Each structure stands twice: as structure tokens, then as C-alpha cells.
Structure 1
Amino acid sequence: MTGRVFRGSTHFRHCALRFNFNPTRIFQRSGLDEIGVSAACSQDRMHIEKLEGELRNCHQEIENLGPSSAKLAAGTSQDEHVKTEIEKMAKQIHESDLVNQLKEELREVKLKAKEEAEDLTQEMAELRYQFTGMLEEESRRRALVEEASIRRVQDLEAQVQKEQQKSITALRHFQEVNKLAEKQSMEIRRLKTALERLHQVSGLESSFESCSSGFCNIKQNILDTEAPKETEALGFVYANNEVDHTLEWHPDEATYDVEKDKNIGFQGPRFPCSNNRDTDENPLARPPSVGPHEVTRWVLVKSPMAWPRKC
């Protein structure tokens, strides 16, 4: 406190000397009463003197307290060092506080990032589940489509096989019908040829001489064409100098073909006679046994026959 007073008085004096401070002059210029001013100045002078006395006492006390002031100065230097240390510690504390604050902020950011990552993981899991469901549904749909297509292909293959079997059966039936029609046409041609021959033979009968027994061998030279494969049913019966013939058609009993007929050639009909000399001499002229339909089958021989003669 004494230091403050001393510093204040010295500052006041310095300012008065610098600015030529003269209180009497100031009061004269202001026109105040000199008595009042002098009384005020005396009071101020007394107060200043009092303060100067206190200042002297303070200086004496300061001189008496010289060693303690040195200690105080050393203490102040230590205090400054301590202050610097304190400031450093404060800075460190502040920095540590900042570090802790940053750590807290980093922890909060990590927590937020972790929560966001968990949310993203959950969303990805949901999307994966949705994609899995969609893929399973798509695979199921494809399996159903594939199964339906396979079933359709199998049905079409079965239908194609059925149609093929039907076509094969129809083709076989058509071939059989063609064969049967060919056989029937051949048999019809043979029968027509036989009928024509019979008509020709019956036409020549009127010019032949009748035998005493009523049966004769007739030479047939009027047909120079080749005979058909086989005549299934051919019968000639003479009664009262008239020709009575019966024809039947049995395609299942046909055993000859055209080539055999070509090799054998046309063989004229044989007629029964009381004299079996020709049949004994030529065994081919003998008639075969009677068939199941009780129709007499006559064998046609290749050798020419003589004109009608008496048996």
C-alpha cells in the first residue's frame, strides 16, 4: 500500500512540474475567493504532509524489512517459476481436457458409426433375405415352367409315338390291303381268263364228235398266251353233251406264281374219261385230291392234247 501511495505522489509531482501546475494561478483565473482557496489549500497541504509522514514511515519500515524483501523477491521469483509451471500444467490440463473431449467426441462418433454400421448391416440382411426369397421364388417358377415344358414335351413325344404307331399300322394295313387287292385282281384276271377259255372250249364242243362214253380229251390250240399262276377252282363236267362248270375263288390256297406259270406254260384242261391211259402215262394230268371246299381241282398239263377221240 505504501508503494502505491509513493507512486501516486511522485506521479502527481511529475504531472505538476510537466504541466506548470500552479493552484493560485488557476484560482485567480477562475475568480474564486482567495480565503476559501487558501483554507482549502491549507487543508490539502496538511493532508499531503500527513501522507508524506506516512510515506517516510513506510520507507523506514521497508529499509528495516530489507532482508525480508530479498526473501520476498526470491519468493516472487519462485512464485513466477511456480506460475509458469502452473501455467504449463494448466495448459497440459487444458490439453488433456481437450484430448479427453476429443476422445469423448471420437467415442461418440465411433458409437454413431457403429450404430450406422449395425443399421446398414440390418438393412443388408433384410435386402439379402428379400433377394433370397425372390431367387427362391424365381427358381421355383423356373422349376415349374421346366417341369411343365418337360411334361409337354413328353406328351408331344407320346402323341408323336402314337401317331407313328397309327401311321405304321395304317401303312401296314394299306400294304396288306394293296397285297390283298393285288391278289384279288390277279385271281379275278385268272378267273376271267379261265372263264374265257371255258367259253371258248364250250364253243368248240359243238364241232367235236361225241364219244360213246360221253367223256373225251380235247386238244386246245386256240390259246397261245401264257396262263396265270394258278387256277384255284376249275371243274368241267360233261352231261348230255353239254358243259357244266363250277368256279370258286380261294386266295389263301394260291401256291403258284407268275414265274412258275411262265416256266410251265399254259396247260390245257383235262377232262375225265373212262379210259385213263393219258392220266396213267402222264402223272401230271391226274387230278389232285378234293379240297376242303369239295371242289375238284384239275391239273393242267404242258403237253398238247389230241383232238377229241373216243375213249
Structure 2
Amino acid sequence: MATSVSLLTLPSSRIISHVLTPVPSKPKAPIVLLSNSLCAPLATWDHVVPKLTSEGFAVLRYDQPGHGASSVPADLSSTTFDIIADDVRELLNHLSISRVHAWIGVSMGAATGIVFAAKYPNIIGKLVVCNTISCSPLKAGGPDIFEPMIEAARRTGSMEETAQTILERWFSLDWMSANPDETRRVRQIMLTTSIDGFETCCAALRSESFDLRPLAEKAGEGIDGALFIVGENDMDLPEHMLQLRDGVKRGLSKKDSMVSVGFEVIKNAGHVSYIDAHDQFVTVITKFLQQWDSRTSMSQRH
């Protein structure tokens, strides 16, 4: 699918690349924002976008720093989820979007969604949180999985080895063997991530400030409903996700929400289930997105 990418220069002088795909027959279609995983530029969503537009949703995608055509800060260690959330706020302002029907985030895109909802309440209608950790490895007391991958990329001067390592974390070898064309497509998109981009986004994930647990309840207060999705094969993430779900649920309980908090396990899926369990993922999110929301049924443009 041909993708026409637009570029916005942010107040920090960095560039954020983005694509807004409209519904031609529906100029004021509700907008769904897709927020990406580490090393997953926006083109990884190419198969999902036409499914959403066929259901009447316009789709906004953006690239993380150093992914696709987005640029990186001078200080690669400076990126935090607060900064990325601010970038998205600038993007929405630039596009005159006052509210999105839903934010669908995967991994670091899901983490950004929770930070954004807590920091900028009542802009996101429904929040879909897919396959994210709840805090940095430092906060969790576990090993730093990101440092070895950064070192490998720096050592070889290429993202090839690191991309392969991530692919094998995302998908099973059986799935990759059975789907060589899709594996190849995703790998080529991943390689549009620069080494600097990978390192600066890892900085956000490794940061001592990265902890969603105290933000989840506040995020829940600023949205109308949430859905948590985890791939069945994605290591120990269900524990992280359930903890975040409970926090968001507490926040939602403080308001008259028309949509509850759901939790779905995508069978036989890994970290990016919109790829290796595409049909099941689309079915689950479409059902959730179609639940009525009076505020997002109205025009979302200023």
C-alpha cells in the first residue's frame, strides 16, 4: 500500500513523520491513532489501516524518534515518554485534531498512550493498550534487555543483527517459516530505524522515570474506556498488563464511563499481534472501537 508521509518540525527542531489516512466518503470520520513499538515504523500497520478505514475510521500514524523519517535529539539519552507524548500533542494541534476516537498503542506506543492520557485528559476517547511493560527494567529489578541490542548495533554499524534479534522476540520461528513474505516485509520496515533512533527510544524505555504504575489511575480518569490486549506467547507481560488494567479501571470508576475496561489474550500471538494474528487482532479492536461514545461521534476537528 502506497503511503504518503508528511513531516512536521516540532518546537524542539526535531521532525516527526506521520500519515493521516481519511475515509473518502466520510470527511468527519472519527480518528484512530496508531502508536508503534520500538523498531516498528508506521508502515508496519499498513495491513491494518484499510481494515479500519473500511469500518469508517480515519487513521493517524506517526513514527517514533529515529524511526522512518522522524529525527532524533542531539542528546540520545534525553528521550522520555513525557517528551514523546508532548510530540504527539504538537502533532494533533498541527492537524487541528481536538480529540481522537481511540489510541491504539503497542509496546512503547501503549506506554506513550498511558502517559498521554494522564498528562492530557479528555483527548483520547478509548485507549487500547497492547503488550507493554509497566516500567523500566531498572524499576522492575530485572536485567536490561536493551543495552546488549544497542551494543550489537553500534558494534556492527548496522541494525541488521538487532532487527533479527527483535524479530525472534516478536514472532515464533514456526510463524516466520510459515510466513516468509510477511517476515521479509516487516524486517525491511524495521531496518528504516536508525541506530541513533533505536538508542534514543531505548533511553525512554530504560529511563528511571519510566513507570506507568502510578499513572494508570489518572489515565483512566481522562478516557471513556480501555481495552488491554496481550499476545499469548509474549513472555511475562500479562502480569504487567493486569496491573495496569486495574489502575485504569480505578480511574474509570470515578467517572460515568459508558465503556468498561476489557482484557483480551490473542491466541498464538507474540509481541506485535496486529501482524502475526492480524485477523484476530482486527476483529477484537473493531468490536471495541464500535462501542458508542457520544463525544467522539461528533466532529473531532476544531
TM-score, normalised via structure 2 length: 0.18
Structure showing the higher strand proportion among its residues: 2
The structure that has the greater radius of gyration is 1
Greater relative contact order (Cα 8 A, min sep 6): structure 1 or 2? 2
TM-score, normalised via structure 1 length: 0.18
Structure showing the higher helix proportion among its residues: 1
